[in-house]
Amino acid sequence: MFEISYSLCEYCTVSKQKQKSLSLASTPLSLPIPLNRISSSSSSFSSSSSRLIRKEMSREEERAAEMENENGVWEEEQCRLYEAYNELHGLAQAFDTPFDAPAVLVVGHQTDGKSALVEALMGFQFNHVGGGTKTRRPITLHMKYDADAHSPLCRLLLPSNSDSHSDSDSEPHEKSLSLQEIQAYIEAENMRLEKEPCLFSAKEIIVRVDYKYCPNLTIIDTPGLIAPAPGPKNRALQVQARAVEALVRAKMQHKEFIILCLEDCSDWSNATTRRVVMQIDPELSRTVIVSTKLDTKIPQFARSSDVEVFLSPPTCMLDGCILGDSPFFTSVPSGRVGSGHDSVYRSNDEFKKAISLREMEDVASLEEKLGRSLSIQERSRIGVSKLRCFLEELLQKRYMDNVPLIIPLLEKEYRSATRKMNEINQELSTLDELKLKEKGRVFHDLFLTKLSLLLKGTVVAPPDKFGETLQDERTNGGAFVSSDGLQFPHKLIPNAGMRLYGGAQYHRAMAEFRFVVGGIKCPPITREEIVNACGVEDLHDGTNYSRTACVIAVAKARDTFEPFLHQLGCRLLHILKRLLPISVYLLQKDGEYLSGHEVFLRRVASAFNDFAESTERACREKCMEDLVSTTRYVTWSLHNKNRAGLRQFLDSFAGTEHNTMGSNCVPAGISQDSSFGSVANEKDTKSRADVKLSHVASGIDVASSIQTTETRLADLLDSTLWNRRLAPSSERIVYALVQQIFHGIKEYFLASAELKFNCFLLMPVVDKLPALLREDLKSAFEDDLDNIFDITNLRHLLGQRKRDAEIELKRIKRLKDKFRSLHKHLSSHQAHSTAFSDHR
């Protein structure tokens, strides 16, 4: 009983076709003959009426037979259509062609019962099912109904070079394997990927299955999504989760795929898998939602209203226009098929019967919880068999609708494969020394043209692919970091957020260098550094603070500016080396790239990189010579750029000292003036006293001035030459001199470095690189042309590419003819069916 119900539900499409044939075949038993032509009470018919009845019955029988024949042809065309789409999917996987056949893509988390549901849809077990990551490659299952296949007939699609006994020049071939061998192959692939760094692969394992219990479906089982816990301890699992999600998202990008979204939850407000699916299909317009493990959820509901909401979720919980208008609910019995002691089912038939029994028990449990019978609409969403029928009908409609669209795509791909074949033949015809040399020279000129174009400026290369923001440039090429470890905020640099390359990126890097170095202040000076810099002279033990200032300034400047010189060279070398892949892209885009000549291209790339590195090193050495000369000997006319500022500082310092000394002398002058004033009290001697007073006062002023200058000179010598105790005035003088010398070195270093990198790094790319590459090319041609172009290997590779192109061209042509024939027959059948319906 279970087997009968299972097969009827499972193959509803085939049954419908047979029912149509049966109904048409039985039409003579219920002919629409007017009652006035037949009279049961009449004993005789007129001869004309009898002939008319027999003629009409014969016509109806002919129509029924014709329709039955048409149905047989239709089923045959459906089978051919399904096979054509399977071949189209295999072609897309083998040659990375830009079209995909409609298929059902199963998406779910690791514990959602994804692989178990796929096995239930097929009617037999084959996969590696269990906890953890059991699927590391997508598995594509081309299932086909075959009434004569009483056991699953499995064929694994293998690439041409996977079997050592197969001809490497042949097409990808199918290999018949048993279910156990298929399962062993999948487990071996999972174990292989588990040991590799990538862990997962987007390349599909393609299996074709013919079975009497299989629906006509193409299902792609993807690796289960992972929801790792946060924290550094789970980084490995977090990396796996990102890899799986990226793989699944890439598969969901194909517009032809129907997404089977599995949710293992009893509350539709928890969108675990839908969160990922809706990033690709926001409206769920090509998504079928399935709630798995229904048998474990039914006991969780305490009230019938909860069951009602679960079976028919409101739009606020389950938004979007999902396929089928509402979710499906499935249960798959646990247990594996096998002969071991841990196996639950001895055969796939037992497993199939258990699925049917589980479906009936789910319906009974739901009706018991609801306290009523399920409606027809509700029953059509419960069980694996209902989901299978829905997917089969949906996929069949997609197949029919896409046939007219596939033909133009195949035509376009056929033209592309033909053009590829012509290019290969053209390359094979040019494999002689003279033509290869000429191709090398032409490539040399085109390569230099692209380099010059990138330096001058272009928008041909996409910035999102080849451009770098300032933050990316700092990460990849190194940042300008001062001795204190601080970086200049990148947001303050013009065009910092723009993705630049070529000359624009070079100019931005040089501008950042000017910003960073130009804003550097002299490092702080300690009193200990000043005292240590004084030292002892060879002729006396006095101090020379001008020499002290020079010693400190050049040491500070050398330590500060030398790292920036190396950082600038590293940054600009990174920018120049990036010109190579961008130039290659431009050559490929314009169809000027020498594909297949890898040895020659590697030599050109090596020559360019060696030139860039040697040129940067030579330029940096020239800049280093300037920095060494500037910090080895102080030339006041060069280093003391801001002489007016220094003079103003020293003048203010001298004025302060003069005022201090003047204030100490004023009281003596006043006392003398007072004593002289007391002598001239009498009126008769007043005029004579005034004259004498003026002479005496003038003499006193001169003597006081001489005394003050001598005192100041003595104080200056005492504080700068004889005294080793560092006075504040001496410290300020040394600091001012150091600042002045440091500033002069900085200005000279900044201008010299920018000028030299422009002249000895940038300009050689324009005027010296062409000659160097030309000489390298000439030397290569003279030494060993065969090794440079690797003619023997190139001829072998071109031959292999030609054979692959011929295989691809042959398969595309066969598919194109097959789809064109299918389209013609399907259109004819549709027109004939319409005419027959109109006639009836």
* pLDDT (average), residues 132-161: 78
* pLDDT (average), residues 607-617: 93
Tell me: pLDDT of 101 over 90: no
Tell me: pLDDT of 581 over 80: yes
- Percentage of the chain beyond pLDDT 70 is 69
What the block records as the tokens of 359 is 């479906």
145 in Cβ contact with 11 (< 8 Å) = yes
* pLDDT (average), residues 529-545: 75
How far is the C-alpha of 212 from the C-alpha of 612, rounded, in Å? 68
Q: Are strands 205-211 and 153-158 parallel, antiparallel or unpaired?
A: antiparallel
How far is the C-alpha of 204 from the C-alpha of 138, rounded, in Å? 5
Burial class (CB in 10 A: 0-12, 13-18, 19+), 647: exposed
Cβ density class 550-571: b for 16+ within 10 Å, e for less? bbbbbebbbebbbebbebbbeb
178 in Cβ contact with 154 (< 8 Å) = yes
- According to the model, what pLDDT value does residue 436 have? 73
Average the pLDDT over each of 18-27, 117-126, 377-386 and give the range with the smallest value.
Answer: 18-27
- According to the model, what pLDDT value does residue 52 have? 61
35 pLDDT band, cuts 50/70/90, is very low
806 in Cβ contact with 170 (< 8 Å) = no
Tell me: pLDDT of 91 over 60: no
Q: What is the mean pLDDT of the chain?
A: 76
- Return the higher-pLDDT residue of 510 and 60: 510
Tell me: pLDDT of 810 over 80: yes
- According to the model, what pLDDT value does residue 269 have? 82
The string of pLDDT tens digits covering residues 418-461 is 888 887 887 777 666 677 777 778 888 888 899 999 999 988 89
What the block records as the tokens of 9 is 């539900």
Domains and CATH numbers, the chain: 100-161+170-382 (3.40.50.300), 442-646+726-785 (1.20.120)
Strands lying side by side in the sheet with 139-145: 173-177, 153-158, 205-211, 139-145, 217-221, 103-107, 257-263, 287-291, 328-329
Tell me: pLDDT of 659 over 60: no
Tell me: pLDDT of 222 over 50: yes
Among residues 500, 507, 440, the alpha carbon closest in space to that of 464 is found at 500
| HSE of 380, CA atoms in CB hemisphere, 13 A | 10
How far is the C-alpha of 50 from the C-alpha of 48, rounded, in Å? 5
What the block records as the tokens of 47 is 């001869």
193 contacts: CB under 8 Å, gap ≥ 6: 136, 137, 199, 200, 201
- Percentage of the chain beyond pLDDT 90 is 19
The string of pLDDT tens digits covering residues 288-335 is 999 999 999 999 888 888 888 888 888 777 766 787 788 999 999 988
Give whichever of 346-350, 354-358, 772-776 has the largest mean pLDDT: 354-358
- According to the model, what pLDDT value does residue 204 have? 84
What's the pTM value of the predicted model, to 2 decimals?
0.51
- According to the model, what pLDDT value does residue 428 have? 76
Indicate the DSSP class of residue 290: E
* pLDDT (average), residues 623-637: 86
Burial class (CB in 10 A: 0-12, 13-18, 19+), 575: buried
- According to the model, what pLDDT value does residue 616 have? 95
* pLDDT (average), residues 22-40: 41
- Return the higher-pLDDT residue of 90 and 373: 373
675 pLDDT band, cuts 50/70/90, is very low
The string of pLDDT tens digits covering residues 273-286 is 988 999 998 888 88
Helix (H, G, I), strand (E, B) or coil at 86: helix
Length of the chain: 840
Tell me: pLDDT of 353 over 50: yes
Tell me: pLDDT of 765 over 60: yes
